[in-house]
Structure 1
Amino acid sequence: MKERISLTMIVRNESAHLANCLESVKDKVDEIIIIDTGSTDDTLNIAQRYTSNVFTYPWHNNFSDARNFAIEHASGDWILALDADEEVQCQASFSFHSLIAKENDKEAFLLPLLNPILDSTEEYNSFYVLRLFRNNGNYKYFGKIHEQVTIQDQQKVGLAVEPILKHKLLPLKLRHQKRNRNLHLLKKALQDDPHNPFLHYYFGVEWLMLGKAGYALPYLQKAYSRLSDDQLLFRAPTLKYLLVCLRALGRLDEALSLCLETSLHYPNFTDIFYLGGLLLEEKEEYHVALKWFNHAINCGKPPALFSHLTGSESFLAYYHLGFCYEKVGETFEAREAYETALELNPRFPYPLYNLFLILLSEEGAAYCYQYLEDRDYFDDALFCLTTADLFFLADHVAQAYLCLENHKDCFQGDERFLFFYGKYCIYSGRANTGFESLNQIPTKSSCYPSAQALSIVALILLGDFPKAKSSAIMLWKNQPTRCEAHIFLCLIRLMQKQTIPPCPLRVRGKETLATNTEMLLDCKRYRSHIMSYDPLVEAWNQALETLIKSSEKGFELLFNDYNQRVQGLNDRLIAKFGNSWMDKL
Structure 2
Amino acid sequence: MAKNTISLCMIVKNEEAHMHRCLDSIKNTVDEIIIVDTGSTDNTVQIAKSYRAKVITIPWKSDFASARNAGLSLASGSWILILDADEELDEKNRKELKICAEHHEFDGFFLQIYNHSGNTINSPVSTINPILRMFRNHPHHRFRGKIHEQIAYSIVERNPNPALHITNIVIHHYGYEEQLVIQKDKIRRNLDLLIQSLQEEPNDPFHHYNIAVEHMRVNNHESALPYLQTSLSLVNHEVSYTHLLYKYKARCLFALGHNLEAIQACESGIRLFPDYPDLFHIKAVIHSSIGDKTLARDAFLQAIQIGTAPMQYHTDSGIGTFLSTYGLGQVHEEIGEDNNAIHWYAETIRHNSQMSRPLQRIFRILKCTGSESMIPALLSERFSIKAPEAVLKVVNLLIEESCYTAALSLLTRLDDETYRQVRDEKIKICQLLSGQKHKNIWYWIGLDEPVLERSYMEGNDYDQFELAVKSAYYNDHQGKALELLRNWQPPIVTDSKAVQDEGYRRSRIWTALANAKIGVPDKQSPHYKILRLAKQSLPLSRGY
Tell me whether the two structures share a fold, i.e. TM-score over 0.5.
yes
CA deviations 1:52-92 (Å, max 9, x no partner) are 41221111111011100111222212110111122212526
- Distance in 2, matches of 1:296 and 1:349, equals 22
Q: 1:140 aligns with which of 138, 142, 155?
A: 142
| 1:2–1:97 Cα contact (<8 Å) kept | no
- Distance in 1, matches of 2:284 and 2:429, equals 42
| 1:274–1:312 Cα contact (<8 Å) kept | yes
| Amino acid of the structure 1 residue aligned with 2:484 | L
CA deviations 1:189-226 (Å, max 9, x no partner) are 33433332212211111221222222222222222222
Check if 1:107 corresponds to 2:107.
yes
* 3-state SS, counterpart of residue 94 of structure 1: helix
- Distance in 1, matches of 2:78 and 2:150, equals 20
* 3-state SS, counterpart of residue 92 of structure 2: coil
Q: 1:156 aligns with which of 158, 162, 165?
A: 162
Corresponding position of 1:522: 467
Corresponding position of 1:348: 355
Check if 1:168 corresponds to 2:113.
no
| 1:78–1:135 Cα contact (<8 Å) kept | yes
* 3-state SS, counterpart of residue 317 of structure 1: helix
Corresponding position of 1:510: none
* 1:125–1:407 Cα change, 3 Å: farther
Q: 1:391 aligns with which of 398, 410, 425?
A: 398
Deviation at 1:380, TM superposition (A): 6.9
| 2:473–2:481 Cα contact (<8 Å) kept | no
- Distance in 1, matches of 2:85 and 2:78, equals 22
- Distance in 1, matches of 2:168 and 2:196, equals 36
| 1:395–1:525 Cα contact (<8 Å) kept | no
Corresponding position of 1:190: 198
| Amino acid of the structure 2 residue aligned with 1:275 | I
Corresponding position of 1:327: 334
Corresponding position of 1:34: 35
1:455-466 alignment, distance < 5 Å: none
> TM-score w.r.t. structure 2 length?
0.76
Deviation at 1:109, TM superposition (A): 1.8
- Distance in 2, matches of 1:356 and 1:566, equals 15
1:13-28 alignment, distance < 5 Å: 13-28=14-29
Corresponding position of 2:77: 76
> TM-score w.r.t. structure 1 length?
0.71
| Amino acid of the structure 2 residue aligned with 1:197 | P
| 1:315–1:340 Cα contact (<8 Å) kept | yes
- Distance in 1, matches of 2:195 and 2:4, equals 41
Deviation at 1:253, TM superposition (A): 0.6
Deviation at 1:178, TM superposition (A): 4.4
1:372-387 alignment, distance < 5 Å: 372-376=379-383, 378-379=385-386, 387=394
Q: Which has the higher contact order (CA 8 A, sep 6+)?
A: 2
| 1:111–1:160 Cα contact (<8 Å) kept | yes
| 1:287–1:328 Cα contact (<8 Å) kept | no
- Distance in 1, matches of 2:87 and 2:150, equals 17
Corresponding position of 2:364: 357
Corresponding position of 1:7: 8
- Distance in 2, matches of 1:135 and 1:565, equals 64
* 3-state SS, counterpart of residue 223 of structure 2: helix
* 1:366–1:50 Cα change, 3 Å: farther
Q: 2:484 aligns with which of 532, 544, 560?
A: 544
- Distance in 1, matches of 2:16 and 2:448, equals 50
Moved more, 537-546 or 360-369: 537-546
| Amino acid of the structure 1 residue aligned with 2:51 | Y
CA deviations 1:102-133 (Å, max 9, x no partner) are x3222222222223468878444322211111
* 1:292–1:192 Cα change, 3 Å: same
| 2:25–2:91 Cα contact (<8 Å) kept | no
Q: 2:212 aligns with which of 190, 204, 217?
A: 204
- Distance in 1, matches of 2:192 and 2:444, equals 55
* 3-state SS, counterpart of residue 189 of structure 1: helix
* 3-state SS, counterpart of residue 6 of structure 1: strand
Deviation at 1:160, TM superposition (A): 3.4
Deviation at 1:299, TM superposition (A): 2.8
* 3-state SS, counterpart of residue 168 of structure 2: coil
Deviation at 1:41, TM superposition (A): 2.9
* 1:406–1:238 Cα change, 3 Å: farther
Deviation at 1:230, TM superposition (A): 2.5
Moved more, 39-48 or 63-72: 39-48
Deviation at 1:358, TM superposition (A): 1.5
| 1:110–1:159 Cα contact (<8 Å) kept | yes
- Distance in 1, matches of 2:479 and 2:295, equals 55
Check if 1:282 corresponds to 2:289.
yes
* 1:253–1:420 Cα change, 3 Å: farther
CA deviations 1:24-63 (Å, max 9, x no partner) are 2111101111111122333223222222412211111110
Corresponding position of 1:224: 232
Corresponding position of 1:552: none
1:38-57 alignment, distance < 5 Å: 38-57=39-58
Query: Superposition RMSD on alpha carbons, in Å?
Result: 4.2
- Distance in 1, matches of 2:516 and 2:373, equals 27
* 3-state SS, counterpart of residue 160 of structure 1: strand
CA deviations 1:139-188 (Å, max 9, x no partner) are 10111000001222253332132321222134253243444543343233
* 1:462–1:72 Cα change, 3 Å: farther
Identity of aligned residues (%): 28
Corresponding position of 1:296: 303
* 1:259–1:543 Cα change, 3 Å: closer
- Distance in 2, matches of 1:147 and 1:419, equals 58
| Amino acid of the structure 2 residue aligned with 1:269 | Y
* 3-state SS, counterpart of residue 101 of structure 2: helix
Moved more, 43-52 or 332-341: 43-52
- Distance in 1, matches of 2:404 and 2:79, equals 61
| 2:399–2:430 Cα contact (<8 Å) kept | no
Unaligned stretches of 5+ in structure 2?
433-442, 490-506, 527-544
| 1:392–1:400 Cα contact (<8 Å) kept | yes
| 1:121–1:347 Cα contact (<8 Å) kept | no
| Amino acid of the structure 1 residue aligned with 2:170 | I
| 1:114–1:126 Cα contact (<8 Å) kept | yes
- Distance in 1, matches of 2:123 and 2:348, equals 12
1:464-503 alignment, distance < 5 Å: 472=455, 486=458
Deviation at 1:6, TM superposition (A): 0.6
| 1:31–1:76 Cα contact (<8 Å) kept | yes
- Distance in 2, matches of 1:566 and 1:107, equals 64
Deviation at 1:331, TM superposition (A): 1.5
The structure with the greater share of residues assigned to helix is 1
| Amino acid of the structure 2 residue aligned with 1:126 | I
- Distance in 2, matches of 1:185 and 1:419, equals 61
Unaligned stretches of 5+ in structure 1?
431-456, 473-483, 490-514, 550-556, 577-585
* 3-state SS, counterpart of residue 487 of structure 2: helix
Corresponding position of 1:260: 267
Structure exhibiting the larger radius of gyration computed from Cα positions: 1
* 3-state SS, counterpart of residue 56 of structure 2: strand
* 1:296–1:538 Cα change, 3 Å: closer
| 2:276–2:313 Cα contact (<8 Å) kept | yes
| Amino acid of the structure 2 residue aligned with 1:27 | N
CA deviations 1:237-265 (Å, max 9, x no partner) are 12111111211222111101122233223
| 2:130–2:166 Cα contact (<8 Å) kept | no
